[in-house]
Amino acid sequence: MRKLPAKLASQLYGAAELIAERGLDGTKIEDIAEATGIPKATIYYHLDGKNAVLEFLLSDLLDMIAGAVGVAVSSSEDARTRLEAAVLAQLGVMLEHPFLCRALVGDLGRATRLPELAGALRTAFYEPIEQLLAEGVSDGSLRQVADPGAVALSVFGAITVVGLSAAVEGPSVDPSTAAVRFSAAVSDLVLDGLATPGSRDQRRGEPL
């Protein structure tokens, strides 16, 4: 898979909506050719088939997410603040690209079975969070939990599902406003939890 020329790359995005709508299987190569204006023969000249089309689109999305989150995470604030920033960054990118997100949900299975993508998925979504939780414990802005791995996974799940679900609901008029709204909800949950002060009865000994 040689790196394909910028022009073709940009045309390929025209296929995202199609794939999002019908899934990769429901989308014929001919359809992609028609939607993008790139003839079938040319597609096959550059890419190794349908999967490669999806792989190209999704790895791009994952790069964007990883990039945005990376920036958010590397400020000099405390970990708690950076976590909020990371949540916002991830949701921002996701809402900015609803079709890619829908394609991702739709062919998640195939995506996880494509080795490159599986790794990129981890890098984009999961690792920054895991990292941040650890740093939060060090700098005292986040509390220690019993099972950091599982908790990081939960946080990752909370963010991602909100983002995907928003994408599936359909493109929003104003993605960045929506991102702010959703990220507030997620951060609220993840930082402060749902228990009322009165019902916080079984903490593991740290003072209230």
Partner DNA sequence: TGTTGGTTTGTACTGGGAGTACAAACTACG
Partner DNA sequence: CGTAGTTTGTACTCCCAGTACAAACCAACA
- Chosen from DNA, a second copy, none, partner binding at 46 (C-beta under 5 to 8 Å by type): DNA
* For a second copy, the closer CB: 38 or 190: 190
**Best CA proximity match to 125, nearest among 69, 84, 55:** 69
Instruction: Let me know if 106 is exposed, middle or buried by CB neighbors in 10 A (0-12, 13-18, 19+).
Output: buried
162 binds a second copy (CB under 8 A): yes
159 binds a second copy (CB under 8 A): yes
Site residues for DNA, 36-75, by CB under 7 A, read 38-42, 44-46, 48-51
Contact yes or no for 135/85 (Cβ under 8 A): no
* For a second copy, the closer CB: 32 or 38: 32
In this chain, which of 10, 21, 22, 30 binds DNA, going by CB under 7 A? 30
Contact yes or no for 16/27 (Cβ under 8 A): no
168 binds a second copy (CB under 8 A): yes
Between helix 50-73 and helix 79-96 the angle, nearest 10°, is 150
In this chain, which of 8, 105, 108, 137 binds DNA, going by CB under 7 A? 8
Which amino acid appears at position 64 of this protein?
Answer: M
**Best CA proximity match to 107, nearest among 91, 123, 118:** 118
Which of these segments, 27-35, 38-46, 62-70, 150-158, binds a second copy (CB under 8 A)? 150-158
**Best CA proximity match to 53, nearest among 119, 93, 100:** 100
Give the burial string for 121-141 (b: 16+ CB within 10 Å, else e): bebbbbebbbebbebbeeeeb
Task: Give how many residues touch a second copy by CB under 8 A.
Answer: 60
What's the closest the beta carbon of residue 40 comes to DNA, in angstroms?
6
Residues that bind DNA (CB under 7 A): 2, 5, 8, 27-30, 38-42, 44-46, 48-51
Interface positions with a second copy (CB under 8 A): 22-23, 25-26, 78, 80, 83, 105-110, 112-113, 133, 136, 140-143, 145-147, 150-151, 153-162, 165, 168, 181-182, 184-186, 188-200, 203, 206-208
